[in-house]
Structure 1
Amino acid sequence: MRALVVYESMFGHTEGIAHAVADALSARGACVELVEVHAAPRAIGCDFGLVVVGVPTHVVGLPRQPAVPEASRRTGLVIAKADFGIRKWLDDLTMCDHQPAATFETTSDRSAGSAARATARRLRDRGAEIMGTASFRVVDAPGPGTAGEADRARAWAAGLVLDAAIHRVG
């Protein structure tokens, strides 16, 4: 099975979880393409058995590109990212009907809403069948990820391989 893992990350937390997800998919036999959102294909063909999208929860949902300078100012960190984010990618995206997909988010206790659920809704609007959503905790935006979250991400992703395979057969 071919799998595509697309992520947007500002502070590296979502990227780290995306790598854990990709590693678990690969360990279960998937041929995985891991790409940051600005390099992700805008058209996803039916040759992908699974598409996984990861995004940080900002304020109450999906990040907005104007949030990048604000996040830099608030944290004092320089965030050098392309000004093409998950919202624009989802707006431009075309995919096969019934495309198996899953979403995950990184979030802190101070975040409200869910970027994973918002992403799942947008993917569903484009024909995807959502196999699952997951949320992984970080201490704070620039701070460290929560211990054990990469392991939880690997376990979640391992289950996705089975779900996607059942979807193909069913």
Structure 2
Amino acid sequence: METLIVYESLWGNTRQVAEEIARGAREGSDALTLCAVADAPSSLRASVGLLIIGAPTHAFTLPTPSSRAEARAHGAAVAHAPGVREWLATLEVEAAPPRVAAFDTRQGRSFMVGSAAKSIARAAKRRSLVVSDSADFVVTSREGPLEQGELERAFAWGRALTASR
């Protein structure tokens, strides 16, 4: 099974989580591609059996152009390129949809924080994709770092996602 992991990261925390998910998923994948959303393909090949999408939670949802601009103003290394929200809106699915998993990074464990993973699931559904698995990874502040143990959890989640197929 080919695995594609696409992520958007503003402070580097979501990138770290994506890298650990990739490390865990590598064993159960025939091929694995990890890429920032700016480098993500515009269409999914039929060979992709698992698509994992991740982004930080901004104002209860996926980052927007204005929330990315605000992050840049606070020192985040954010490209002016589109993010996961825009990528999913234009993604073409060439064949049978792959299994999809979504993850996010967010500040705190309360449901009041919101969830980019839930927003990814809604956006994926509009592209005829169904998110079957999701995970939230917690950062200690807007800039991070990740809470203790979150990278280990990301590795284990990646391993579990590919072990189940």
Could you state the TM-score of these two structures normalised by the residue count of structure 2? 0.90
SS at match of 1:160: helix
Q: Does 1:153 align with 2:154?
A: yes
**Amino acid across the alignment from 2:127:** R
SS in 2 for 1:20: helix
Q: Structure 1, residues 58-110: CA drift from partner, whole Å, max 9, x if none?
A: 0110100221221233x3x2524132111110110112344211000000028
2:125 aligns to what? 124
- Please report the RMSD computed on the Cα atoms of aligned residues, expressed in angstroms: 1.7
Contact 1:55-1:116 at 8 Å conserved across structures? yes
Contiguous gaps of at least 5 residues in structure 1? 166-170
Q: How does 1:158-169 map to 2 (within 5 A)?
A: 158-163=159-164, 165=165
CA contact (8 A) 2:3 2:29 kept: no
Letter in 1 for 2:146: G
For residue 79 of structure 1, give the secondary structure of its aligned residue in structure 2: coil
1:9 and 1:15 in contact (8 A); partners too: yes
Amino acid at match of 1:52: I
Task: Report the AA paired with residue 55 of structure 2.
Answer: V
- Say which structure, 1 or 2, has more relative contact order (CA 8 Å, 6+ apart): 2
User: Distance in 2 between the 1:98 and 1:87 partners?
Assistant: 18
Give the superposition deviation at 1:162.
Answer: 2.9
Contact 1:97–1:127 at 8 Å: present in 2 too?
no
1:15-38 Cα distance to aligned partner (Å, 9 max, x none): 000000111111334411001001
Q: 2:46 matched to 1:51?
A: no
Q: Which runs of 5+ in 2 are unaligned?
A: none
The one-letter amino acid paired with 1:159 is A
Number of aligned positions between the proteins: 162
What are the equivalent positions in structure 2 for 1:17-36 lying under 5 Å apart?
17-36=17-36
Local SS of the residue matching 1:49: strand
- Determine the C-alpha separation between the residues in 2 that align with 1:105 and 1:78: 17
Higher mean displacement: 107-116 or 9-18 = 107-116
Amino acid at match of 1:101: V
Indicate the residue corresponding to 1:64 in structure 2.
64
Match status 1:108 vs 2:130: no
C-alpha contact (below 8 Å) 1:105/1:135 kept by paired residues: yes
Residue of structure 2 equivalent to 1:168: none
User: What is the SS of the residue equivalent to 2:65?
Assistant: coil
1: CA distance between counterparts of 2:78 and 2:114? 25
Structure 2 CA distance for aligned equivalents of residues 78 and 123 of structure 1: 26
Question: What is the one-letter code of the residue matched to 1:79?
Answer: A
User: In percent, how many aligned pairs have the same letter?
Assistant: 31
- Distance in 2 between residues matched to 1:12 and 1:106, nearest whole Å: 10
